[in-house]
Chains A and B, each alone.
Chain A
């Protein structure tokens, strides 16, 4: 792949073995950069929403009794038993013009709304697909926080929310980091979800790579895109992995 990314595309989509850096120059094209940025935005948004939804869920699971915990974790994992493509396609059925949501609105006497092939539908699909990857590391991080530490915060005049914010959230940091990486990276490169739920409207970097390989048959550029994505991810990884400055609370 790396070698392919440094050669030219043949006239009919094959490989022409002349060395060139042109594929990487094309990455800086405003259209490509725009798609990169957009994918970035989607991935960031997905990670944030997964965090916001995942934390309460993970907290409830981590603080429930052992027997409940098992069942709740199974519920989180049940969707994995089905193919990802099928699950994403289920959202198409829910969102499309004559889908479940609009059917429901019709019963209520409301006008139908267009949901499929919007930013919203892509985001829902991405969050739905990657939420468990946020929840599971958070559960294991939250489980390691002794309940007494939380009680100590409550005893020291913190309300329930303040105790969560000042004690539980910072102490579950390893879970946040792992969960964010696990959600951010696959959603940055996602291609099924934006393809099925975003249609032509929301081209993401993953979809672009897939198209370069399979539709446009421009393997060298597709390869260059892949390595560009990988470089970005590695840089982010390095940035997340560095030890944060310990800072005083007041």
Chain B
């Protein structure tokens, strides 16, 4: 598959702080790629480096196999959708969208038709002569999108495109963004700190923290098999515990944790005997019942049901385990919670070996 943007060990410092640290990434043609991370993780800086609004201290940036390190933003075939849109307030919607084409010296006729088509695509045909301050937030965002897309850039860069929209509008814009990306077969690189957004929209995503890329993969890969504690903790809800690998047998390994029975997991390639590891199980993979259901489940831990939180489509049950850990279990409300369960009761938490994961340990839980 053709590589559109390639970053090779790119670093960027802001004064003494490292904003981007040795990041290497490859973004493929036509994919929706997200940079996901908490604020301050360097994802916006990375986007600005690709756009040419900042220059890297070290490393190489390639756009379509061309080294662009020293190219100014106006010479790069990429366009950025700014977080707060940065529309030109003194220009109409039409002129905002036409700006890039005009600067590139396109003919009047081409500009007229391209801008017309693009406004139709983002459903703003009737608003061409309006000024940005006469538009709603959602409309302004569509102008910002159109202004970038009309230039048919090699890559469209989006900086927190949904951040300034309210919840309801955000849902609509998710669909809109995905539709536009697919219709135009464009390559999108989208910065976000909203994991649901990244998981829903992306073909692939990179999880960033402290200026580094922790893991790159499809949303499924990232959610199901995070490779580090930081990724597992950042994406979705998880239950963790530290323990020691005590025994390995073909595809299976057992992890021991003081106060718990030996726990059975699928053996990761890297696992070594007597290694300290963090185990991880997603709340929806755990099964809660008053009594252990053997032999159906590989692992069973007794505990005390502390708290039951009804959350619409699901119920969250908090269970205190013998080792002073509190785990959360997500019970879908399609299957009613066993009615006998109530807070304070003795229960058993159980799961299959394949549903848990083993991570190299950095923390002690």
Task: Give chain A's interface residues, CB within 8 Å of chain B.
Answer: 146, 148-149, 151-160, 162, 166-167, 170-171, 173, 246, 248-250
Q: Which of chain B's residues has its CB closest to A150's CB?
A: B86
In the complex, whether B285 has a CB less than 8 A from a CB of chain A is no
Q: Which of chain A's residues has its CB closest to B73's CB?
A: A154
Please count the residue pairs between chain A and chain B whose beta carbons lie under 8 angstroms apart in the complex. Answer: 81
Q: Are B90 and A157 in contact (CB under 8 A)?
A: no
Q: Are B88 and A152 in contact (CB under 8 A)?
A: yes
What 10 new A-B contacts, CB under 8 Å, besides A155-B53, A249-B98?
Answer: A152-B88, A154-B72, A154-B74, A156-B103, A157-B74, A158-B74, A171-B90, A249-B99, A250-B95, A250-B98
In the complex, whether B43 has a CB less than 8 A from a CB of chain A is no
Q: Are B103 and A158 in contact (CB under 8 A)?
A: yes
Question: Which of A154, A158, A170 is in CB contact (< 8 Å) with B90?
Answer: A170
Q: Are B111 and A156 in contact (CB under 8 A)?
A: no
In the complex, whether B151 has a CB less than 8 A from a CB of chain A is yes
Bound complex: CA A170 to CA B82 (Å):
21
Q: Are B89 and A171 in contact (CB under 8 A)?
A: yes
Q: Which of B72-124 contact A (CB under 8 A)?
A: 72-74, 78-80, 82-84, 86-92, 94-95, 98-100, 102-104, 108, 111
Question: Which of B86, B98, B111 is in CB contact (< 8 Å) with A152?
Answer: B86
Q: Are B86 and A250 in contact (CB under 8 A)?
A: no
In the complex, whether B282 has a CB less than 8 A from a CB of chain A is no
Question: Which of B82, B102, B103, B108 is in CB contact (< 8 Å) with A148?
Answer: B82
Q: Which residues of A contact B90 (CB under 8 A)?
A: 167, 170-171, 173
Q: Which residues of B contact A173 (CB under 8 A)?
A: 90
Q: Are B86 and A156 in contact (CB under 8 A)?
A: no
In the complex, whether B147 has a CB less than 8 A from a CB of chain A is yes
Report the count of interface residues on B (CB-CB < 8 A): 32
Q: Which residues of B contact A146 (CB under 8 A)?
A: 84, 86
Write the nearest CB–CB distance from B146 to chain A, whole angstroms: 12
Q: Which residues of A contact B104 (CB under 8 A)?
A: 157
Question: Which of B79, B89, B92, B108 is in CB contact (< 8 Å) with A156?
Answer: B79
> Could you pull out 15 A-B pairs where Cβ atoms are within 8 angstroms?
A149-B89, A151-B73, A152-B80, A153-B99, A153-B103, A155-B51, A156-B151, A158-B103, A162-B103, A171-B89, A171-B90, A250-B95, A250-B102, A250-B108, A250-B111
Task: Give chain B's interface residues, CB within 8 Å of chain A.
Answer: 51-53, 72-74, 78-80, 82-84, 86-92, 94-95, 98-100, 102-104, 108, 111, 131, 147, 151
Write the nearest CB–CB distance from A196 to chain B, whole angstroms: 42
Write the nearest CB–CB distance from A145 to chain B, whole angstroms: 9
Known: A148-B86, A156-B147, A157-B74. A248 touches B103 (CB 8 A): no
Bound complex: CA A166 to CA B95 (Å):
11
Q: Are A149 and B151 in contact (CB under 8 A)?
A: no
Q: Are B95 and A248 in contact (CB under 8 A)?
A: yes
Question: Which of B53, B89, B91, B147 is in CB contact (< 8 Å) with A154?
Answer: B53
Question: Which of A149, A160, A162 is in CB contact (< 8 Å) with B88?
Answer: A149
Q: Specify which of A146, A151, A160 lies most central, judged by the most chain B CB atoms within 10 Å of its CB.
A: A151
Q: Which residues of A contact B151 (CB under 8 A)?
A: 156-157
Known: A152-B80, A156-B151. A249 touches B102 (CB 8 A): yes
Q: Are B88 and A153 in contact (CB under 8 A)?
A: yes
Write the nearest CB–CB distance from B73 to chain A, whole angstroms: 4
Write the nearest CB–CB distance from A168 to chain B, whole angstroms: 10
Q: Specify which of A162, A248, A250 lies most central, judged by the most chain B CB atoms within 10 Å of its CB.
A: A250
Q: Which residues of A contact B86 (CB under 8 A)?
A: 146, 148-149, 151-152
Q: Are B88 and A155 in contact (CB under 8 A)?
A: no
Bound complex: CA A160 to CA B74 (Å):
9
Write the nearest CB–CB distance from A99 to chain B, whole angstroms: 45
Write the nearest CB–CB distance from A171 to chain B, whole angstroms: 6
Q: Which residues of B contact A155 (CB under 8 A)?
A: 51-53, 73-74, 78-80
Q: Which residues of A contact B79 (CB under 8 A)?
A: 155-156
Q: Are A249 and B103 in contact (CB under 8 A)?
A: no
Q: Which residues of B contact A171 (CB under 8 A)?
A: 88-90
